[in-house]
Amino acid sequence: MKQICFVTGNKNKLQEIQQLLFSFKIISLHDLNFFDDIPETENTIEGNAFLKANFINNKFNIDCFSDDTGLFIDSLDGLPGVKSARFAGENSNSEENISLVLKSLENKKSRSATFKTVICLIINNRKHFFEGSIPGTITEQKSGEKGFGYDPIFIPFGYNKTFSEMTIEEKNLISHRSKAVQKLIKFLNSYEK
């Protein structure tokens, strides 16, 4: 089975991807004994995805992929966007980020938003990008115990529960990340032929 490194320190993301990418053996940063932060200094999620994949590809000479995800809220001019993980400050956590989003939306009529994931794959020293997105709405309060990040306040269009109220299997059928990963899988499966 071909090995590929998923460049993430996020155990939740790793678990989600491992459930989706079963035709490859996924190596984590932990498996490479790499525990440093790779600064996300680009001003787009595409740029950050490339930055992380390129860093690990150069350092370990291994095929790898990295993702970056943003929550883009229409009435906040696309914020938190590329700064989704650090919206409430450089060392902010999900709780603080969610609180700031809910506070920022207090007087806004529109609560529509889009979750977007971009994956950068570097294989045989060539880069490829895969994107997935899902529109939805931001709730007025948190709901659900599962998931991570902004999942407790995001309801995808056509559903009546947040990502945090869905099982990982339900979320994986529709999420922005799974859409990007499905494109990645399709590409990797055809790449081998």
What residues are labeled active site? 68
Report the distance separating Cα 119 and Cα 146, nearest Å: 23
SS3 readout for 128-176: EEEEEEEEEEECCCCCCCCCCCCHHHEEECCCCCCHHHCCHHHHHHHCH
Tokens of 31: 């498996």
Burial annotation 114-134 (CB, 10 A radius, 16+ → b, else e): bbbbbbbbbbeeeebebebbb
Name the residue among 11, 169, 170, 16 with its Cα closest to residue 155.
170
